[in-house]
Amino acid sequence: MTETTTQQTALVELDGVSKFYGNIKALEDVSLLVNAGEITCVLGDNGAGKSTLIKIISGLHQHDAGTFRIEGEETTLTKPREALDKGIATVYQDLAVVPLMPVWRNFFLGSEPTKGAGPLKRLDVQQMRETTRAELLRMGIDLRDVDQPIGTLSGGERQCVAIARAVHFGAKVLVLDEPTAALGVKQSGVVLKYVAAARDQGLGVVLITHNPHHAHLVGDRFVLLKRGAMFGSYTKDEITLDELTRQMAGGSELEELSHELQRAQVLPGELPDAS
């Protein structure tokens, strides 16, 4: 456990947080710290409790035990809107975009700027289009056409639009749910670049992933989850990539697995002799 005493107040701090669904422990005694300008990675295999953790931070679910502090103030978020208002923006795996709608409509969905009054109150379409284009450019995304349906963009581009949207709407904390899960190597690199860009703009980032390579590239802190419990928490200088990979794969379990795989490799070689 690392209990680094920071001068600044952490943007988000979980301390011994647990969540139960009926008699199922989805999350038990998890602590996590997110500072401005830092990336905190949450690593874990499927079913480790990563999604539950996100849901608590983004206000979809409420924690049952422990404390949840936002900028030093203890809180329980009751709905996603509340999290957004406190500056916590979550980019989900499905990205929360509407595929058939144009990029600019998606960019402002839920927070559309208007002009005019009364029955003539209308969307400020020109501003929406130009802001979308400018904000994406600022993140280094040069989009051909903001009018194209967002569903026609590549997975990486969509991820970047979602991140740019969160940054534009004044997020202080960005929660990213497996942003590189479905992407190829090159696309993953592009997305990680934008994650780093968001960090450099002073945001605190929570990066959920099961890829230790991606995590170690950009992360400042690492929290490892396994079967709903925390089994490791490190800062970057405390852990190497190899160690992180080994821990992620379950340490001794990995050794067992490699042993099994080695035996399996020998088998095909033996077959021709047998025939």
Which string of b and e fits 87-121 if b means at least 16 CB within 10 Å? bbbbbbeebebeeeebbbbbbbeeeeeeeeeeeee
Q: Which stretch binds another protein (CB under 8 A): 144-152, 207-215, 227-235, 262-270?
A: 144-152
Look-up of token digits 């400020």: 124
Q: Which two tokens mark 106?
A: 């998606």
Q: Is 92 in the site for another protein (CB under 8 A)?
A: yes
Identified binder of another protein from the candidate list 2, 8, 62, 111, rule CB under 8 A: 111
Q: Is 148 in the site for another protein (CB under 8 A)?
A: yes
Strands 12-21, 24-34: pairing is: antiparallel
194: helix, strand or coil: helix
How big is the chain by its Cα radius of gyration, in Å?
Answer: 21
37: helix, strand or coil: coil
Angle in degrees, CA 178, 186, 106, rounded to 5: 55
Q: Which stretch binds another protein (CB under 8 A): 69-77, 97-105, 205-213, 243-251?
A: 97-105
Cβ atoms < 10 Å from Cβ of 249 = 15
Residue 62 near residue 80, CB atoms below 8 Å: no
Choice between 146 and 190, CB closer to another protein: 146
Choice between 80 and 250, CB closer to another protein: 80
Identified binder of another protein from the candidate list 93, 127, 187, 245, rule CB under 8 A: 127
CB of 201 to another protein, least distance (A): 13
Q: Is 134 in the site for another protein (CB under 8 A)?
A: yes
Choice between 100 and 182, CB closer to another protein: 100
Q: Is 114 in the site for another protein (CB under 8 A)?
A: yes
**Residue ranges in contact with another protein by CB under 8 A:** 80-81, 84, 90, 92, 94-101, 105, 108-112, 114, 121-123, 125, 127, 130-131, 133-135, 144-145, 148-149, 152, 168
